[in-house]
Structures are given as C-alpha cells and as structure tokens.
Homo-oligomer: A and B are copies of this chain.
C-alpha cells in the first residue's frame, strides 16, 4: 500500500468514527434512527469530509477543527443519496452494493430519514462549534451560509432538479455541465471553502480552493460517467451501462470516450494549478485530485 492509500484508509477510519456520535438517538423513534444510521454508515469514499480535513492540514491547522463541518457534509451527501434513490426520483434498488434505504425501511421512513439528516447537519454545526473556543461564532455562521447555498436550490438540489428534467432529453454540453457543477460539484466546493473558513485562509487561497473544487467536481462526474461505461459492476456496487439504458446524457455520449478522458485529465491539471497558486501543491489535496481521476468505484 503506498503512502496515499494509507492516508485514505486512515482518514476514512477517522471520519467514520465521528459519524455515528453526531446523530442523536435519545428521543428519536427507533425506526427513524435505524434508517439514518443505515445510510450514514453504509460506506462510501467519504470524499467531502476528507477534503475538509485536507484543507486544514494543508494550511497547518488542527485537523480536528474540521470534524463537525466534515460530518455535516457527509450527512447532507447521505440524505441526497437517500432521496435520489426514491421511486419517484431515480428508483434505485442498490447503492454501494446494498439495498437502498427505502427498500429496507419503506418510502415514508426514507423520506423522513433524509429530512432528519439534512436538518441534523445544520444543527450539528451550530451545536458542535459552540463548544470550540478556536472557532468564532461568525465562522460558524459563514459555514452554515456556505453549506446552505451549495446544498440548496442554487446548488445540489437545483442540480438534481435539472438532472431529472433532462432525463430522456437531448442535452448539450452546457446543460450537462450545469447539472454536474451543481449536483456534484457544489458540495465539494462547500467542503473546500468551509475548510478554508476554518483554516482562516486568505482571499486568494479561498479562490484557489474554489477553483480546485469546481475542477475536481466536474472531473468526478466525468469519471463517474466513464465508469458507468467501462467500470466493473462488482467494484461499483451498481449496474454498468445503466446511464445508457435510461438514455441519460453523459460525457461519453456527448464527447466520446477519448475526449471525455482528455477533458478529465485537463481538469485535474487545472485543479493542481489552483493548488500551486495557493502554495499548497505539496498537500494531500494533490494526490486527492489524482484519486478522483483514477478511482475505479
């Protein structure tokens, strides 16, 4: 295992230790708690939390300062997957090789578990940072504003809406990029900018982190589309070729596989250039960009 693989394993384990304690159990109906826990603990790359921690490290700040924000991002990512999988949305039965939330707990519970995770994300940021003397209340307020903007109608939810509206239609590249910039990219940007706020990054560093986030967000989605064509179903935990079956617009469909891969490479190069501008090119954010490109699930 190389050093970066080791880094991923350690950070994933560190993040996962902090997820469950951030949920409330006392006073929560059992079925609701179990449903929230099921999806929050169902694995995954934990990429958004990892980005928060990596920004703090890159800017020589204590990593644990990022934990509440990192955990909140993972709650929001998880809620979005639960709702996206619902029959009225993408109607998926499997997620990461396991039955989707509504398949296990029923639709009503899945909707409520999503709602509760989304709500808890904001509450947890507000609660947890009140107890830390190294994070000023105005920073907490900025984290919440940033997360709300990137996760809501102008961000992730807007991207999902555009994705649903676009199904079965001929989309052009601009429309496809709108979807991915928001559906996937905005929450990654929130992770990076939130990390920046917590690390007291300069304006120039914030801009560079944002640029890095936008690039790896699009790159992430292009690689997702490529994996949906070329990937291994067992690794992915979902069917290969499902995008084509649904007549979903993808980068390979619009640009061809070869050009999609070129574009992916260019985006990763630009992400790294942004890191260099911020003087943090020797941090874990650099191999994290490669990882977005090279992952096989």
- Chain A positions near chain B (C-beta within 8 angstroms): 23-24, 26-29, 31-33, 36, 79, 83, 86, 88-89, 106-109, 111-112, 114-116, 118-120, 122-127, 129-130, 136-138, 140-142, 144-145, 147-149, 151-154, 157-158, 160-162, 164-165
Does A123 lie within 8 Å of B138, measured CB to CB? no
Nearest residue in B to A145 (C-beta to C-beta)? B126
Which chain B residue shows the least CB distance to A86?
B111
Give min CB distance, A200 to chain B, whole Å.
16
Give the number of copies in the complex.
2
**CB–CB A29/B120 < 8 A:** no
List residues of chain B with CB within 8 A of the CB of A127.
145, 148-149
- How far in angstroms is the closest Cβ of chain B from A39? 13
Question: Given A126-B144, A137-B141, A144-B126, are A120 and B152 also a contact pair (CB < 8 Å)?
Answer: yes
Q: Give the contacting residue for A111; candidates B32, B89, B141, B158; CB below 8 A.
A: B89
A115 x B116 contact (CB < 8 A):
no
Report 11 cross-chain contacts, Cβ distance below 8 Å, ordered by A residue.
Answer: A28-B158, A29-B153, A29-B161, A29-B165, A32-B158, A109-B164, A119-B151, A120-B153, A122-B148, A137-B137, A144-B144
* Distance in Å: Cβ of A246 to nearest Cβ of chain B: 14
Main secondary structure of the interface of A (DSSP, over half): helix
Say yes or no: A108 contacts B123, CB within 8 Å.
no
Inter-chain contact A107/B126, CB cutoff 8 Å = no
Report B-chain residues with C-beta under 8 Å of the C-beta of A161.
29, 31-32, 109, 112
Of listed A24, A127, A151, A152, residue having the most chain B CB within 10 A: A152
- How far, in Å, is A143 (CB) from chain B's closest CB? 8
Question: Per a CB cutoff under 8 Å, which of B114, B125, B138, B157 touches A137?
Answer: B138
CB-CB < 8 A to A24: which residues of B? 152-154
Taken together as a complex, chains A and B put the C-alpha atoms of A154 and B111 apart, in Å, by 16
